[in-house]
Amino acid sequence: MSLFSPLVLPNGVHIPNRIAKAAMEENMADGDHAPSAELLRLYEAWAEGEAGLIITGKVMVDARAMTGPGGVVLEDDRHLDRFKAWAAAGRSRGAQMWMQINHPGRQMPAALGQETLAPSAVAMEMGALSKQFPVPREMTAADIAEVERRFVATALLAERAGFTGVEVHAAHGYLLSQFLSPLANRRQDRWGGSLENRARLLLDIVRAIRVAVAPGFAVAVKLNSADFQRGGFSPEDAQAVVRMLGALGVDLVELSGGSYEAPAMMGSARDERTLAREAYFLDFAREIAGVATMPLMVTGGIRRREVAEEVVASGVAMAGIATALAIEPALPCNWRLGRTDVPALKPIAWKNKQLASTAHMAAVKYQLTRLSRRQRTAPNVSPAWALVLSQVAARRRAKGYRRWMETRKVAA
C-alpha cells in the first residue's frame, strides 16, 4: 500500500493519503480560550502541506480542567463561529479535520489554581517536578457522569462546527489513560480493578459519542500501546482494549505511549543516537494489528519518508507525524514530489527524562509559534532557550487563565 493511497474508514469516509498531522499542544487560544487568528494561520500551513488527516491539539471538555494555560476549550456554542473558522482552515485543501478532545485528570499544573480530579488520589511521581502537580481528589460517580456528558457535548459541538471527526484522548497519562492504568486507578468500584472496569469510562464515552453524532462523522481513539511503567497499562492491556473498541464502531485507533511520568512519546528527546528511534511504537502496533478490526495509526518519531512507508507497508493504515510537521508543514507535499526531507530538532541528551521531554515540547512550540506568524521555522533553536521562553509564556498565560476563571465565576 502506497503512502499516498487513500484510506476508506469503516464509516465510509475517505482520507486522501496515509499521512496524518498528529496532535501537538499549541497553547494558542485567544482571550476566550477559543481558536485564535494565530491558530488558524498555523492550520492553514498544515492544510497547504497536504496531510490527508489533520488532528488538532488538545481541546478541553471542561474549562476547569486544562493541560496547560492558553489551551482551547469547547463547552458550549458561545464562540462556535471561531471553531467553524478553525475547521474550515484545516479542511481548505481537502484534508479530514478531526478535533482531539481531552481531560487532563491529575496532569493539570498547580499554577492554574484549579481543583484536580483523578480516578484515585494518587500523586504524580516526577521527582523534583512533582510539586508542579497537586494531589488529585478521587472522582465521585457524579464527577464521572459529568465527564462523560462533557465529552459527548464537545463532540456534538465539533460536528456542528464543521470538523469531520473527533479523537478521544485516552493516552499519555491524561484522565482516560489514568482510568486505564492500575497505577493511577486504585478504585474498588465499577470503574476500578479489572481491565473491563478500568476501561468502562472510555467505552461509555465512545459508545455515547457514536450514538450522538452522524454516521459519517469519524470517532477515533488515541491509546497507549503501553505506559512504560512497571505495573502499569501493558501491551496486553492495549490489545484487549482495542478488541473492546472494535465492537463500538470506532473508525481509527492511534497508538502512542507514555505519560508525563514516563515520557516515551518523546523518545527522540531522550535518545537521538540511532535512527531506530523513529516509529518507536511500530512493533507494538504490529502486534495490536492482529486483533484490531479498525484501521490503526502509529505516531512517535517519524521524520523520514522511508520510515513512514515502512509503517504503511507493515499493515498499519496511517503514519502520524508531529514534530517533523512542526518543522516542515509541507512535508507530505515534498515527499509526494520525490524530495527526501528529514526534519529534526537539535538532540537533547539530558539525563532527566521529564525535563528533556518538557524541553522537547518547548522546542516544538517554538516552531509552531513561528509558523503561526508566517515565519520560517528554526529547528536548531537551543532546547534550553526554548524551555525558558516557554516557561515565561506559560506563567503569563497562567495568570490570564486565572483571571478568566475569576471572571467566569463572577458572571455565573
- Flag whether pLDDT at 392 surpasses 70: yes
Who contacts 270 (Cβ-Cβ below 8 Å, separation ≥6)? 263, 348, 353, 356, 357
Alpha carbon distance 49, 60 (integer Å): 26
pLDDT for position 230 = 76
138 vs 275 pLDDT, higher one: 138
Quote the pLDDT of residue 131.
Answer: 84
Between strands 7-8 and 14-15, the pairing is antiparallel
The per-residue pLDDT for 279 is 60
pLDDT for 272 = 38
CA angle 363, 365, 366 (to 5 degrees): 65
The pTM for the full model equals 0.94
- Segment 395-410 mean pLDDT: 93
Query: What's the pLDDT at 270?
Result: 35
At residue 338, what are phi and psi to the nearest 5 degrees?
Answer: 95, 5
pLDDT tens digit sequence for 42-93: 999 999 999 999 999 999 999 999 999 999 999 999 999 999 999 999 999 9
150-164, 323-337, 351-365: least confident range: 351-365
Question: In this structure, are strands 296-299 and 53-55 parallel, antiparallel, or unpaired?
Answer: unpaired
Domain locations in the chain? 7-411
Give the per-residue SS3 of the chain.
Answer: CCCCCCEECCCCCEECCCEEECCCCCCCECCCCCECHHHHHHHHHHHHCCCCEEECCCEECCCCCCCCCCCEECCCCCCHHHHHHHHHHHHCCCCEEEEEEECCCCCCCHHHCCCCEECCCCCCCCHHHHHHCCCCEECCHHHHHHHHHHHHHHHHHHHHHCCCEEEEEECCCCHHHHHHCCCCCCCCCCCCCCHHHHCHHHHHHHHHHHHHCCCCCEEEEEEECCCCCCCCCCHHHHHHHHHHHHCCCCCEEEEECCCCCCCHHHHHHHCCCCHHHCCCCHHHHHHHHCCCCCCEEEECCCCCHHHHHHHHHCCCCEEEECHHHHHCCCHHHHHHCCCCCCCCCCCCCCCCHHHHHHHHHHHHHHHHHHHHCCCCCCCCCCHHHHHHHHHHHHHHHHHHHHHHHHHHHHHC
Output Rg (C-alpha) for the chain, integer angstroms. Answer: 19
Confidence of residue 265 (pLDDT cuts 50, 70, 90): low
Summarize pLDDT for 167-184 with one digit per residue, the tens. 999 999 999 999 999 999
Give the Cα separation of 266 and 13 in Å (integer): 31
* The pLDDT value given to residue 75: 97
Interval 268-305: pLDDT, tens: 333 333 334 566 678 888 889 889 999 999 988 899 99
185-197: per-residue pLDDT in tens?
999 999 999 999 9
Could you give the CA distance from residue 115 to residue 106 in angstroms, rounded to a whole number?
9
* Whole-number pLDDT of residue 94: 97
pLDDT of residue 351: 85
Cβ within 8 Å of residue 35, ≥6 positions away: 28, 29, 72, 82, 83, 85, 86
Q: According to the model, what pLDDT value does residue 183 have?
A: 94
What is the chain's mean pLDDT, rounded? 92
Fold of the domain spanning 7-411: TIM Barrel (3.20.20)
Q: Over 90: is that where the pLDDT of 222 sits?
A: yes
**pLDDT exceeding 90 applies to what percent of the chain?**
81
Calpha distance 45→43 (Å, rounded): 5
Of the pLDDT bands very low, low, confident and very high (cuts 50, 70, 90), residue 406 is very high
Supply angle C-alpha 146, 147, 150, rounded to 5: 85
